[in-house]
Amino acid sequence: MSENKNKTLSGAQIIVEMLIAYGVEVVFGVPGDTSLPLYDAFYHSSSKIKHILARDERSAAFMADAYSRLTHKPAVCECPSGAGALYSIPGIAEANASSIPVILLTSGVALAGENKGTITELDHHKLFEPVTKWSGFLKYTHKIPDTLRRAFRIATTGRPGAVHLCFPVEVMNGRMSTKKMNIYAEKDCMQYPAYRTRGDADRIKQLANHLDGAKRPVIIAGGGSVHSQAGELIIKIAELMSVPVATTISGQGIMPDDHPLAIGVVGDNGFHPHAHEAIDNADTLIYLGCKMGSVSTIKWTKPPSDSQDSNQKIIQVDIDPVMLSNNYKNEICIAGDVFLVLKDLYHELQNMGCHSDISSWSKQINLIRKTFWQDSAAQLHSNAVPIKPQRVINAVNESLLEPSIVISDAGTPTPYITRFLRLKGKESRFIIPRAFGGLGYAIPAVVGAFLARPDAKIIGMFGDGSLGMSAGELETLVRLNVQSILIHFNNGSFGWIKALQSIHSQGRFISVDFTQNNMAKVATAFGMKSFHVQTPEQLDLAFNEAIGYQGPVFIDVVTEPEVSELPPVYSWHHTKRAIVR
């Protein structure tokens, strides 16, 4: 701000200066009629802040979502009025429900045109109220700094989430002297979670005593553990007390997959049998940053929520008190930031002199895990044609570098990735949209991931249903020369829904199939290096070439449809067995 001291700035320039003060380096968005002042401000500050052009407003929000997950900073996206705001809702809703602090700026029509039938006029702030932590409409230029500070504070504190602000044209064009403007950032809110909440000390002591006295304890780490950056503490406590650690899909990767106490994913999609065995037989279940929703508990059957005489003790730690005992009768509830709670718990356990060697309980779970991987080897190395999705994930595992960021779309790849992916290195991450499960996430998320972590190899995986919703962003990857590998599961259908129809509708398929084209040609048309893969041999050759390529690569893999072999989704197999009986 020093060069603008005592100058007169437009509202749009003040917005950009505030973003710079908050350390925002990139803003994702799509231009429109109403955002011209904002883009002019970006142009004049391009040496300090970069605008990333997306090809769709939904994609811009998905880019910001992935960027925020990997930087642990609030991310910013913007879009124009009318349709632009409407298109951005899926991405903002996903970020908010996934506890990701994304701040959306929309430019509204002129206030002078309110209620006159002005084209693209829309009450943006009302539109976003149900899917954000806060949605505001700013009518005065002089309130921009205070309002943006409030936006960053709301987005990053408590349970992080999305925030929306609408700036009409008059506010962006209005001018103010910098003498009268308090353009500064609230430094604590430049990352998340901000103003971390410490858990109650007495309850943490109770947790320590329960953990010390447990014979068969299990830790279940959810997405909140990742947001809190509690991975190292989870490992320390697990090793100190010999506690097996399972994760939800959103928590996957919190521990290295080859750690003897990391027992895999619980829940419905891509579950690990050894993780379910641990849940079924544990005497103490400790949920960290987990909502204990329908997927992670298989509709509240693992553990059962209706068993009042169960000997299992459930302990839940969450930053949001509203989620505590929301679905289960908990033995202990601790409201607090997972990192701080575990930090205090670790010290408490050390003060108590607690220590445990690898227990027979952990050895028992590991024997089941060993058998699982032995039994999976045939599928992982299968030479079947069409290619099995398991074979694709194995090719990814064998090609992974350290660090890697693996991004999955919802749908076809999900259960195979969560079951078979083996991340390498502490800095590697797995990202998946689990709040609403919308298609079209992975390709734009790759852009956000690359800008957040240019040090990592970025791999995006998605089905052909997803590709149809976000193919335009292939141009964005080429334009930005995003170093990444995109893997397209090409089975000519909305595979997830087709699998459901095969189970529940006895194969009465309707509106789930489409043409199974060579989609590598589409990627090539956008300027990407592309491969069309039909055999495992071709798959390995494509990966060998892609892994060292300097630029985006698209691998179009013709895969076995889900109806040929049911994916590893627990409820599907359970339902199918019941139908057969």
Q: Report pTM.
A: 0.96
- Nearest Cα neighbor of 296 from 408, 218, 236, 374 is 218
Contacts of 378 (CB under 8 A, 6+ apart): none
Q: Which two tokens stand for residue 147?
A: 């309002």
Among 32-46, 151-165, 346-360, which stretch is predicted with the lowest mean pLDDT?
346-360
What is the Cα–Cα distance from 2 to 20, expressed in whole angstroms?
12
Q: Which two tokens stand for residue 335?
A: 């409201």
pLDDT of 306 strictly over 80: no
Q: What percentage of the chain exceeds 70 in pLDDT?
A: 96
What confidence category does residue 576 fall into, taking pLDDT thresholds of 50, 70 and 90?
Answer: confident
Overall CATH class of domain 381-580? alpha beta
Q: So what's the pLDDT on residue 424? A: 83
Angle between helices 495-504 and 570-580 (to 10 degrees): 30
Q: Which two tokens stand for residue 304?
A: 């059962």
Q: Which two tokens stand for residue 293?
A: 């929703």
Is the pLDDT higher at 435 or at 134? Answer: 134
Per the CB < 8 A criterion, the answer to whether 241 and 351 are in contact is: no
For the chain, the average pLDDT equals 93
pLDDT in tens, 365-390: 999 999 999 999 999 999 999 999 99
What confidence category does residue 110 fall into, taking pLDDT thresholds of 50, 70 and 90?
Answer: low
CA distances from 468 to 171, 432, 488 (A): 38, 18, 11
Give the SS3 label for residue 320.
Answer: coil
Among 24-38, 293-307, 447-461, which stretch is predicted with the lowest mean pLDDT?
293-307
pLDDT in tens, 65-106: 999 999 999 999 999 998 999 999 999 999 999 999 999 999
What confidence category does residue 112 fall into, taking pLDDT thresholds of 50, 70 and 90?
Answer: low
What confidence category does residue 417 fall into, taking pLDDT thresholds of 50, 70 and 90?
Answer: very high
Q: So what's the pLDDT on residue 412? A: 76
Per the CB < 8 A criterion, the answer to whether 99 and 112 are in contact is: no
Q: So what's the pLDDT on residue 309? A: 55
Domain 2-189 is found in CATH 3.40.50.970: yes
Per the CB < 8 A criterion, the answer to whether 166 and 1 are in contact is: no
What is the Cα–Cα distance from 326 to 461, expressed in whole angstroms?
33
Mean pLDDT of 2-26: 88
Q: So what's the pLDDT on residue 581? A: 57
Q: So what's the pLDDT on residue 2? A: 46
What confidence category does residue 401 fall into, taking pLDDT thresholds of 50, 70 and 90?
Answer: confident
pLDDT of 579 strictly over 90: no
For domain 201-364, give the fold: Rossmann fold (3.40.50)
Q: So what's the pLDDT on residue 356? A: 85
The answer to whether the 2-189 and 201-364 domains have the same CATH topology is yes
Q: So what's the pLDDT on residue 146? A: 96
pLDDT in tens, 187-222: 999 999 999 999 999 999 999 999 999 999 999 999
Per the CB < 8 A criterion, the answer to whether 271 and 247 are in contact is: no
- Nearest Cα neighbor of 28 from 104, 108, 109, 125 is 104
CA 448 from chain centre, in angstroms, equals: 12
Delimit the domains of the chain by residue range.
2-189, 201-364, 381-580
